Amino acid sequence: MRRSLLIWLCVCLLTVSAFAADLGYVYDDADLYTDEEETKIIAAAEAVYSESGLLCVIVTDNGIGDMLDMLPTYAGSAVDMALLTIDMSARQFDLYQYNAVKGEGAFRISSSETDTILDGILPDMADGNYADAALLFVQLAEESFTNTEAFDPAVPGDGYEYNEYYTPEYMAPEHDYPYVTEYEPAFSIGTVLFPLLVGLFAGGIAVLCVWGSYKKKVHGATYPLGQYAKLDLIDAKDTFITKNVVVTRIADDPPHHHGGSRGGGGFHGGGGSRGGGARMGGRSF
């Protein structure tokens, strides 16, 4: 936490001279890369930035919170950024995309491309080849970014949420999204009957709990072991026997419904011309 705050402070100070300073590519607080590996990753990321304009950033740490508010800081003067976070304490990695909006919100890496990137680097991450995973991330991010066929303006990944702070240049998508619904209260017998039955049940449970506790004659432990017994452990063996893995296919999520004025993680205003970031989805390894 202290380290995160320190990074945040440093990054804020750097932002003051963001346009003059060099862009940051690797923030390796979890010490996953050797100096040589880090140099290699930075070189690859620099090449991608100079060729396509996509800033690839990798942040590693032992505990990473919500990055959405920090994306503009990491992006600095870059317009488009793909940021990979690796949280070693939770053993999770995640992909964020950022676009400094100038004219329209444009997320150039689609939802399916995000899955491709994350699934692509998963084996290396699981095997502990973090440098290879980082290089692959840079490569796949560039491929997705330059693939204009999958370009999906203003729709970050699987969801879209309206941001009240961002209005001037927002362009609504042409097709309808079922996210905004009108509120029409509907009253019926069922609306009351079901809660009534649940209420009666809850009342009965409460009465039973009180009755049970008052009928109980003995209160508390009659021989508190922690107080009266002392254990001196002389042997402890934990023997591994076997392991099995079950794979379950996850069903697709139903479409999300959101209220008309609810803000969310899709867009975060960062001043008049600053754009938005999106959390694209994470993986455990």
Q: What's the Rg (C-alpha) of the chain? A: 26
Write out the H or E segment, with its range, that includes residue 11.
Answer: helix 2-16
Per-residue CA distances from 103 to 106, 164, 171, 201, 270 (Å): 9, 17, 9, 57, 15
Look up tokens 């003059």; give the residue: 20
φ, ψ at 260 (rounded to 5°)? -60, -40
d(CA 107, CA 99): 7
Shortest reach from residue 182's CB to other proteins, in Å: 14
Shortest reach from residue 91's CB to other proteins, in Å: 8
Instruction: Say if CB 284 and CB 92 are below 8 A apart.
Output: yes
Stretch that binds other proteins, among 6-14, 133-141, 240-248, 271-279 (CB under 8 A): 240-248
Binding to other proteins by residue 243, rule CB under 8 A? yes
Could you tell me which residues are beta bridge partners of residue 55? 81
Binding to other proteins by residue 212, rule CB under 8 A? no
Binding to other proteins by residue 189, rule CB under 8 A? no
φ, ψ at 104 (rounded to 5°)? -155, 155
Shortest reach from residue 34's CB to other proteins, in Å: 27
Options 51, 127, 207, 256; binder of other proteins; rule CB under 8 A: 207
Binding to other proteins by residue 147, rule CB under 8 A? no
φ, ψ at 21 (rounded to 5°)? -80, 165
Binding to other proteins by residue 16, rule CB under 8 A? no
Options 17, 148, 167, 244; binder of other proteins; rule CB under 8 A: 244
Stretch that binds other proteins, among 35-43, 114-122, 167-175, 272-280 (CB under 8 A): 114-122
What is the contact surface with other proteins in residues (CB under 8 A)? 115, 119, 122, 185-187, 191-192, 194-196, 198-200, 202-204, 206-207, 210-211, 214-225, 227-250, 283-285
